[in-house]
């Protein structure tokens, strides 16, 4: 979430509606380090921690604190890795807002790319060609003979295996890991390792997935976001 912010022209009215008491309640119970993060006034702040350590909770507090200080909600942006997380976080933030706002920007990387491109004049929906996970699963099922699956066990349920591939590809793209980067990682694995063959085969499946999308003039959510931005 961007820490650059400014008070709106109606700062006095915003302070009246949100009030210092609300801001004080928001900070109550926080540790000194948590309070420093929530109230940080510098340009950038990196919060590090393992899953479940409260990073998202801290960002929610910071969002509400900034609004309480007079920042308009639509002037803030929160970037999250998946649509599901974006929806859940947006609902939690909306619940705590007492002010009207134009738009709440809780976005995935691909949604952010689409927003930037749209506002740059690239059209109303520059990511309209993005295929959902279900669409891409159907694509792989239809063209399963084009996939190398020698080292993966169908277990009698090919759709389940292919759905797992789609989820895995989406996770990699959320971390901006493209097929070339994954191939470099897989190539460095020991040839004697049990999973090496399967990992290298998955890399080819990833490449084939991308070729299929390119041939159809489509993309998946998050695909090409670095190029777009």
Q: Which two structure tokens, joined as six digits, stand for 58?
A: 């801290």
Lowest mean pLDDT among 17-26, 30-39, 144-153: 17-26
Q: Which long-range contacts (CB under 8 A, 24 or more apart) does 165-168 make?
A: 165/140, 165/202, 165/205, 165/206, 165/209, 166/133, 166/136, 166/137, 166/140, 166/209, 167/133, 168/202
Q: Mean pLDDT over residues 34-45, rounded?
A: 88
Q: Are residues 177 and 216 in the same domain?
A: yes
Whether the model clears a pTM of 0.85, i.e. scores above it, the answer is no
For the ranges 77-81, 174-178, 184-188, which has the lowest average pLDDT? 174-178
Cα(80)–Cα(111) distance, integer angstroms: 10
| Domain assignment of residue 113, yes or no | no
Is 28 among the domain residues? Answer: yes
Please name which of 177, 166, 178, 171 lies closest in space to residue 141, comparing C-alpha atoms. 166
Does residue 117 form part of some domain?
no
pLDDT at 50: 85
Whether 91 is in a domain gets the answer yes
Residues 20 and 100 in one domain: yes
| Residue 121 included in any domain | no
95 and 155 both lie in a single domain:
no
| Mean pLDDT computed over every residue of the chain | 80
The tally of domains found in the chain comes to 2
Asked whether residue 178 is assigned to any structural domain, the reply reads yes
Residue 135 and residue 94 share a domain: no
Q: Residues 100-114: pLDDT tens digits?
A: 777 888 988 777 877
The pLDDT tens digits of the residues spanning 11-20 come to 434 343 444 5
Query: Is 195 contained in some domain?
Result: yes
Q: Are residues 96 and 171 in the same domain?
A: no
pLDDT for the residue 202: 95
- Domain of residue 92: give its range: 11-107
Residue 5 resides in a domain:
no
């Amino acid at each position: 979430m961007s820490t650059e912010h400014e008070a709106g022209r109606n700062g006095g009215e915003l302070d009246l509606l949100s009030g210092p008491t609300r801001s004080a309640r928001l900070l109550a119970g926080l540790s000194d380090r948590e309070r420093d993060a929530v109230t940080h006034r510098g340009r950038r702040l990196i919060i590090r921690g393992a899953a479940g350590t409260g990073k998202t909770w801290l960002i929610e507090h910071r969002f509400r604190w900034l609004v309480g200080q007079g920042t308009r909600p639509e002037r803030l942006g929160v970037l999250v890795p998946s649509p599901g997380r974006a929806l859940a976080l947006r609902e939690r933030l909306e619940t705590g807002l007492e002010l009207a706002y134009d738009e709440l920007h809780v976005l995935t990387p691909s949604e952010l790319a689409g927003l930037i491109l749209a506002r740059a004049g690239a059209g109303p929906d520059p990511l309209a060609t993005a295929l959902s996970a279900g669409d891409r699963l159907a694509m792989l099922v239809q063209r399963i003979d084009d996939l190398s699956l020698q080292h993966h066990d169908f277990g009698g349920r090919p759709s389940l295996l292919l759905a797992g591939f789609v989820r895995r590809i989406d996770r990699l793209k959320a971390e901006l890991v493209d097929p070339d980067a994954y191939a470099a990682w897989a190539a460095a694995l020991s040839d004697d390792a049990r999973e090496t063959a399967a990992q290298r085969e998955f890399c080819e499946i990833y490449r084939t997935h991308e070729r299929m999308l390119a041939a159809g003039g489509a993309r998946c959510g998050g695909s090409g976001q670095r190029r777009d931005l």
